[in-house]
Amino acid sequence: MDINYKKFKVIVREGYESICAVVAEIIAGQIATQPDSVLGLATGSTPLGVYKKLVGTDFSRVTCFNLDEYHPIERTNHQSYHYFMMQNLFNRVNINPDNINIPSGEAVDFAAECDAYEEKIAASGGIDLQLLGIGPCGHVGFNEPAAIFPKQTHYVALDSSTIEANSRFFESTDKVPKHAITMGVGTIFSARHILLMATGSHKADIVEKVVLGDIDPQVSGSILQLHPNVTLAMDAAAAVKLLQSL
């Protein structure tokens, strides 16, 4: 099912593999039409199937910026987003290592790391296509519930719901880093095309809230209601409540 709702292009497919195929096709199409594309990429279980399907795509001229990284964490830690991206995508495609950009979980000077990341994005010409997942509290990147929408890349304390949701990747909740470096909402919003992906019935409530609820920094993904070019790609389980409300 493909429908348009306000500024959203909504794509719904029956299962996880089907929606991953659609998302991978959109990203591959972006690269095919613009080989020197600048991509913003996400981590976590949701886009994992997408990255598997992108193996074989020509990344030789592509530049990538990842949304976020835990802090503190070493890049060699198997739970770091740096390790995730290298294992699941970058080591499996022909990307130039100089074109891989991930915030440093080992940074000592947080402010300098954040400023440098923003400068790299600007120097690249900005992000052409930004892939996003949606967190349990409606966050995009690690832009947790807040009083205002953070504009730029920043250092953030993780919300308890985020720590709990991500604890499945660690030995215990206590092992989950309590902070992160993340692109700000303004940085994400500046992307020319945003591709928001949601899968699973546990995302149905928050998807409905992000698309149909108030624009509220307590739900950072709600800002996407104002973006002129958003594609929302979901499996049927994640889409069920939104489709009932449209």
> What does DSSP say about strands 8-13 and 2-5: parallel, antiparallel, or unpaired?
antiparallel
Classified as helix, coil or strand, 205 is helix
Strand partners, 11: 2, 233
Residue 161 lies in a domain: yes
**Burial of 105 (C-beta count, 10 Å sphere; 0-12/13-18/19+):** buried
What's residue 160's pLDDT?
A: 86
| CA dist., res. 147 & res. 128, Å (int) | 28
CB atoms within 10 A of CB 219: 21
Q: Which residue range(s) make up the domain with 128? A: 2-177+198-236
| CA dist., res. 26 & res. 23, Å (int) | 5
What's residue 191's pLDDT?
A: 98
| CA dist., res. 152 & res. 56, Å (int) | 33
Classified as helix, coil or strand, 204 is helix
Residue 184 lies in a domain: no
Mean pLDDT for back-to-back runs of 10 residues, the chain (246 residues) = 88 97 98 98 95 98 98 95 97 98 96 97 98 92 91 92 84 88 97 98 96 95 96 97 90
What's residue 23's pLDDT?
A: 98
What's residue 131's pLDDT?
A: 98
Q: What tokens appear for 41 in the block?
A: 């990429």
Q: What share of the chain is helix, strand, coil (3-state, %, to 5)?
A: 40, 20, 40
| CA dist., res. 159 & res. 137, Å (int) | 9
Classified as helix, coil or strand, 112 is helix
What's residue 164's pLDDT?
A: 86
* Domain total in the chain: 1
DSSP code for 158: P
Residue 53 lies in a domain: yes
Residues 6+ apart with CB under 8 A from 64: 38, 39, 40, 41, 90, 95, 99, 100, 101
Residue 154 lies in a domain: yes
Residue 24 lies in a domain: yes
Residue 99 lies in a domain: yes
What's residue 245's pLDDT?
A: 87
Whole-model pTM? 0.95
Task: Please list the alpha-helical segments (H only) found in the chain.
Answer: 16-33, 48-54, 81-88, 110-123, 160-166, 185-189, 204-212, 236-245
What's the CATH code of the domain at 156?
Answer: 3.40.50.1360
What's residue 31's pLDDT?
A: 98
Residue 42 lies in a domain: yes
